[in-house]
Amino acid sequence: MKKQRSQKINLDEIIRCLSIVAQTLHENPKQALKDLRNIGGEIDRKIPYRDGHSIRVTDYCLNIADDLGFSEKEKVVLEVAALLHDFGKIGIDENILLKPEALTSDERNEITMHVMRGYYMLAGFNELIEALEGIKTHHEYYDGSGYPEGLAKGDIPLIGRIIAVADAFDAMTSERPYRKALTKQAAIEELKRASGSQFDPAIVKIFLKLLAQKDKRNRK
């Protein structure tokens, strides 16, 4: 497996761009989201094994939101949260991200901290406050065994439950330092297996329906 090294991230520059995006989010969401996609894509490219991850996760999330009948305003909040869901991974030691062997408990803690790190890094942007809930809860499990707070079922904000499914599917179908990408079918089986424990079963059901519809369209 080829190792992917990251490039240096200019955090000051990213924060400067984010503050401009945050300020324009309400008056011109279309442009702000376009700029945010560029920032999300740029961050992904600089973190090993992540190229395109946030964008793909966001697109999956928006498809689910359409099926759920989200309003335009709700979709903006979800889109911001999905684009920035792993913002806290900036600055994680690259040796941990690239480690092919099992992680130690300290290293695992370092990874899990990305949730609260991202939350606090972005907490100063009042305009992103609703999206922060999604960032904070995208690793909560439906049965209450996730992190950071061990929230369960409906206590997990809906946008967090949506991102969780989209995120897991994209992560499973992408290569990682410690494993090759799963096939789409294997990832679907894993979503089904963890439906009701890790994931909200209603969201899994919608996501699998959307994947099947996409497959059908592609076969035509």
Q: Which residues bind Fe ion (CB under 5 A)?
A: 86, 167
Give the shortest CB-89-to-Fe ion separation in angstroms: 7
Give the shortest CB-168-to-Fe ion separation in angstroms: 8
- Considering the complex, state which of residue 175 and residue 215 has its C-beta at the smaller distance from Fe ion: 175
CA angle 98, 50, 177 (to 5 degrees): 30
Tokens read off for 191: 């979503």
Give the shortest CB-164-to-Fe ion separation in angstroms: 9
Annotate 142-188 with DSSP letters as a single string: TTS--SSS---GGGS-HHHHHHHHHHHHHHHTS-BTTBPPPPHHHHH
Cα 157 to chain centroid distance, Å, stands at: 14
Give the shortest CB-24-to-Fe ion separation in angstroms: 25
Count CB neighbours of 9 within 10 A. 15
Helical spans, DSSP H, in the chain: 11-24, 29-46, 53-68, 72-83, 94-97, 105-112, 114-122, 129-137, 158-172, 184-193, 201-219
Contact at 8 Å (CB) between 167 and 137?
Answer: no
- Considering the complex, state which of residue 27 and residue 59 has its C-beta at the smaller distance from Fe ion: 59
Give the shortest CB-72-to-Fe ion separation in angstroms: 24
